[in-house]
Amino acid sequence: MMNNKLILGLGLAVVLSSCSSTKSIHSVAVPEGSTTAVNIPAKKGEMSKEEIRKWPHADLATDSIPGMSLAKAYEFVANKKATTVIVAVIDSGIDREHEDLKDVIWVNSDEIAGNGIDDDKNGYVDDIYGWNFLGGKEGDATPEQLEVTRLYKKLSAKYDGKSESDIAAADKEEYALYQKVKKDYEKRIAEVTKNYEYYKGLETMLTDADKAAQEKTGKKDYTAEDLKALPAEEQIPLLVRIMEAGSTVTAQLEQLKGGLDYYSKQLNANLNLDLNGRAANGDNPYDIKDVPYGNAFTIGSIDDEMHGTHVAGIALASRNNGIGMNGVAQNAKLLSVRAVPDGDEYDKDVALAIRYAVDNGAKVINMSFGKSYSPNPEWVWDAYKYAESKDVLLVHAAGNDHKNIDKSDNFPTDTPDKVNEIVGNIITVGAMTRNYNEDLVASFSNYGKNNVDIFAPGLEIYSTIPKNEYKSIQGTSMAAPEVAGVAALVRSYYPQLSAKQVKHILMNSGTKVDLEVKLPGGEGKKVPFSDLSVSGRVLNAYNALKMADAMVNGK
């Protein structure tokens, strides 16, 4: 996820980031999508706050906003019969008690709550609403290291202080990985430390200036006019600029606190070589057979975790209930699988989370997470194949590093060699904005002509967060559940279609875009939008349902 904040008066932009080659499917008949690209003038004028909150559901043709045409989609299926689809969200904790989620929660009817017995004999005790692979006490957060931190600590014990000439032939490849990881870790820790100290200095400067202003004016709540009335040599221009920009010292300090919290968490957890976040679980995260572990506390910490709740709301928040916002899918139930910490997820957790979701009936699984290193990708690939064998569609966020993932590593992946897919049931999603012009692609989004399948709304996405609240957040983490929601819609109204068919419907039915767009991370360089994904398209729910109907009913 990404948050952009401008510290007014200080002139500083704070950017805090959280957050394929299509396999040949000869047995699946998929109608051809339109080859005619849409080229509509960008929407003119300012959008209202309400319009911005709803923009992902807008219609490009009528609104000039590149949303997913959701109203038209629901008009199309208004008189059609639907079945209930289970959508699993593998993420951080999810506040299932939220006013906009409580009515769509999946419940395991084969389990008796709170009796401490594995009633359904699935290996998970009291898993009424899902499973928490992160462990910990009820309500606790579970901060974790980044994978680069874990790898650096592990490999340092073996290779620290050694040179190339000291390394046996059998260890050359691992030593090369150590050199790469060491460089990456040291760069990250230096940058984070520098940023933390920078923000701490700004906080001190602003706090001292505020204290001086109160003393000089004799007022706690002084104004810009009070400051300008001081003798020239006693004025504090910094505070005047802040106030004349329409902000306050309190607001600026709050923004700085956000930056400090962000970087301190990285220093104290994500990049902390001594952290043992797994201690609460008691399992060996590098032994896939060390089970069972975890518990049924899927909510996690409602004070420290909002990512999973936000993602879940995008796809599944109750529709038309008069509160909050509308999710994409109706006739769907939310299965909560907590496996993503504040840090990098373990391959073991991801693999077992996928299998758990599949075994409990999920037909769509959303995976809004990712990392740059994967010690045990084979466990995840086996889980992918298991999901494929059970006809389950997996939706994965492409990542927020503004990188070409045809060249850069991004895990989990369904293309180990970045060319050939090992399964056909995974769709990878990039993030787009509401700007139908050169700024269509979100500046943070990863892309790839071979490894990103489609783009979907991922900027300024308004959705649920814990404690019955709502917030606009951005990231490919937000784009993926838009696609998962549409996939659930298709599978609800057209259950005859397989996961592979639904994937190809989503890709072929998306709106084809004929625009030159700014390349993420390209410093203003422009490229054809069609060069950034397999499909060259953006998600369109209406077109997807029409294509699904044509496949099923032959019309």
**Do 387 and 324 form a contact (C-beta atoms < 8 A)?**
no
Helix ranges restricted to H, 317-451: 347-359, 377-389
Coil, strand, or helix at residue 88? strand
% of the chain exceeding 70 in pLDDT: 92
DSSP-based three-state secondary structure for 247: coil
pLDDT in tens, 400-427: 999 999 999 999 999 999 999 999 999 9
Name the strand (E) or helix (H) holding 511.
strand 511-512
| Contact between residue 108 and residue 120 where contact means Cβ atoms under 8 Å apart | yes
Tokens 């990285």 belong to residue: 266
Assign 3-class secondary structure to 434-455. CCCCCCCECCCCCECCCCCCEE
Query: In this predicted structure, what is the pLDDT of residue 39?
Result: 61
Q: Return the pLDDT at 19.
A: 42
Instruction: Give the residues across from 16 on adjacent strands.
Output: 3
61-82 pLDDT tens trace: 888 899 999 999 999 999 999 9
- Measure the CA angle with vertex 421, ends 88 and 474; round to 5°: 45
Taking the C-alpha atoms of residue 96 and residue 335, their distance in angstroms, rounded to an integer, is: 10
pLDDT value for 64? 83
Amino acid (one-letter) located at 104: V
**Mean per-residue pLDDT, 336-363:** 98
Token digits of residue 465? 């967060």
pLDDT digits (tens, 9 = 90+) for 134-158: 999 999 999 999 999 999 999 999 9
Residue 311, classed as helix, strand or coil, is helix
Interval 425-484: pLDDT, tens? 999 999 999 999 999 999 999 999 999 999 999 999 999 999 999 999 999 999 999 999
Q: Which residues have CB under 8 Å from 224's CB, separation 6+?
A: 239, 240, 243, 244
The confidence score (pLDDT) of residue 433 equals 96
What pLDDT digit, counting tens, does each position of 9-45 carry? 344 433 333 342 222 222 334 444 555 555 666 666 6
Residues 6 or more apart from 548 whose CB is under 8 A from it? 490, 493, 494, 497, 502, 505
Closest to 427 measured CA to CA, from 383, 473, 474, 384 = 384
Residue owning tokens 């306050």 = 248
The number of beta carbons lying within 10 Å of the beta carbon of residue 118 is 14
The residue ranges of DSSP E strands in 305-437, in sequence order, are 332-338, 362-367, 393-397, 426-432
Distance of CA 508 to the CA centre of its chain: 23
pLDDT, mean over the chain: 92
For residue 13, the model assigns a pLDDT of 36
**Helix or strand or coil: residue 486?**
helix
DSSP state of 158: H
Q: Residue 492: phi, psi to the nearest 5?
A: -70, -45
Q: How far apart are CA 170 and CA 540, in angstroms?
A: 51
Single out the residue of 384, 311, 328, 367 nearest to residue 94, CA to CA. 311
Is residue 280 very low, low, confident or very high in pLDDT (cuts 50, 70, 90)? Answer: confident
Q: Show the beta-strand stretches assigned E in 380-536.
A: 393-397, 426-432, 454-457, 461-465, 469-473, 511-512, 516-518, 526-528
Pair type for strands 332-338 and 362-367: unpaired
| Exposed e or buried b per residue across 64-84, where buried means at least 16 C-beta atoms within 10 angstroms of its C-beta | ebbbbbbbbbbebbeeeebee
Would you state the pLDDT for residue 61?
85
Domain 22-144+292-553 falls under CATH 3.40.50.200: yes
Average pLDDT over residues 224-230: 95
DSSP code for 277 = G
Who contacts 225 (Cβ-Cβ below 8 Å, separation ≥6)? Answer: none
Name residue 131's beta-bridge partners: 337
Domain ranges, ordered by start, for the chain: 22-144+292-553, 150-270
Residue 394 has pLDDT above 80, yes or no: yes
| pLDDT score of 372 more than 90 | yes
pLDDT at 63: 85
